Amino acid sequence: MVSASSTGSWPISWKPEPNGSELLAKMRRKGDLPTKTCASCGLEFAWRKKWARDWDEVRYCSERCRINKKSGE
């Protein structure tokens, strides 16, 4: 069983089943997820589960952009 408090900043809201025995994830559409603009290419990218712990520090949309970041940053 997963605790709702251990989810951190996941953009999934947890809701108990009607019988209250387990917790279920209420899924969101991709358009409802938070977005950021890539510091390298300028494209907008959406939140991903693998970035849940450090979403505030994420600056680049991909590994390629992170490696080829603009000079002077």
Domain boundaries, the chain: 4-67
The pLDDT of 10-37, averaged and rounded, is 66
Read off the pTM: 0.55
For residue 18, the model assigns a pLDDT of 58
Instruction: Give the bridge partners for 46, in sequence order.
Output: 35
CB-based contact 4:23 (threshold 8 Å): yes
Which pairs count as long-range contacts for 53-62, CB under 8 Å and 24+ apart, including other chains?
53/8, 53/9, 55/9, 62/38
Which tens digit of pLDDT belongs to each residue from 44-71? 999 999 999 999 999 999 999 999 887 5
